[in-house]
Amino acid sequence: MSGFFIFKNLNSVQKYFDYLFSLERTGIKYDLSNITRLLEHLNNPHHKFKSIHIAGTNGKGAVASFINSIMMEHRLKTGLYTSPHILKFHERIRINNKPIDDKTIIKFVDMNLKVIKKINPSFFEVTTALAFKYFADNQIDVGIIEAGLGGRLDSTNVLLPHVSCITQIGLDHTEYLGNSLQEITKEKLGIIKKGVPVVISDNHIQLKRIFDLSVPVDFKYSLSEILKIKKIIRRKESLDCSITINFKNQILKFNFTLPFTAEYQIQNAAAAIVASVLFFEKNNLPYSIKKIEDGIKQMKINSSYRCRQEKIKVSGRQFVLDVSHNFDGIKSTFKSLIDSRFDAIIFGMMDDKDYKKSLELLRSKTEQIILTKPDYKRAVSPTKLLESLKNKFYKNVVVTGKVGDAIDMVFQDSSVKNILIIGSFFLVSDAIKALKFEKKFS
């Protein structure tokens, strides 16, 4: 069936993306019925490739990207499924870091529109089905799959993975997952399958009992118990790390360069190492310490992992782009920005996040903040952000309804040279576009 079958009178692939994104209006159906029906229609592609499944609140994308890079360094054909994207939908679905192409997306929508309309799935459900079909059709060696919302009833939880990972837990999506870390943890642990090893990266002491009770001891690999960080040397744009992992009655030693200055990424890298070794051993695949270390070092390149404290220069200004989008994420980012101060911070967030506590954090890094709103329906209005401040945290607070206007304000003030943009994937995306940095970014 040829492309543009549905939208035959249109001459732009954009209509296909408009249609896919329109499915967001159907809202979140927090169960597995729709995705199960979609995948059955597609002949269950998720049963046709091996996978590693990752859930958690913060660090999922990093762990997935580290694993992807390690697998690529071992010359495996890898499928990587993450969300959300920063600039283009295609970023979500990659094989050996090459994004899915327009033709494949068009063909998928064309051939499955009838059943999509019948089932009425959400955007994420359709996107997950597309990714699984794409990976199966291309006969990948391993799919590295990041859960979207939660775990237990997330669309990705139809998988029977070879390894599961739980990253750092935080208070997020409380309307769906629960109002405490304990409740949210139980939802995330819903990805656990019988006989599947589980890597636990979360380090909350109060959650240890839940992990111990939920994961059989022979299948639990908790970093708090098996990881030792021996040495960290901070460079200008990286960290040199020496770690040991007490793994199945052996001690594995790794010395690698982490392509970040944020120390919390060591925990994410270690989780990826353990998950990768478990996968290799389960499938009787040879692995190399050197290739694992190379995978950590090359993660940004191999997985196109962007906008985590990423610095770009435009017209004499330095912008630091960071997609941290909840309180815990921003807190971790600021811990790694030890001595950093900014002339201004541009901030916007989704309405379901704890923007009040996040705003309190920002005052440690600047005296000037520009409150704005990403072009996304769930974004909180800047006036609502201002009301939560009560004008007591900053010497200078500016409010604007568009990210582009916030960028313009920065360029109008000659004293503002160092700017942090933080609070949302959508905020960073809008900022990159406003800075006309898209071509250099991709």
- Beta-sheet pairing, 239-247 with 250-258: antiparallel
78-135 pLDDT, tens per residue? 999 999 999 999 999 999 999 999 999 999 999 999 999 999 999 999 999 999 999 9
Q: Residue 260: is its pLDDT beyond 70?
A: yes
328's enclosing H/E stretch is helix 327-336
Percent over 70 (pLDDT), the chain: 93
Beta bridge partners of 312: 319
363-402 pLDDT, tens per residue? 889 989 999 999 988 899 999 999 888 656 667 899 999 9
pLDDT value at residue 175? 57
pLDDT value at residue 170? 83
205: tokens are: 């002491």
pLDDT value at residue 172? 62
pLDDT value at residue 4? 40
Q: What per-residue string of b and e applies to 279-317 under the rule 16 or more CB within 10 Å gives b?
A: bbeeeeeebeeebbbbbbbbbeebbbbbbbbbebebeeb
Output 184 or 319, whichever has higher pLDDT: 319
Q: Mind listing the domains of the chain with CATH numbers?
A: 14-225+263-288 (3.40.1190.10), 308-441 (3.90.190.20)
pLDDT value at residue 61? 96
Q: How confident is the model at residue 176 (pLDDT cuts 50, 70, 90)?
A: low
Percent over 90 (pLDDT), the chain: 77
pLDDT value at residue 225? 95
* Cα–Cα distance for residue pair 436/267, rounded to 1 Å: 34
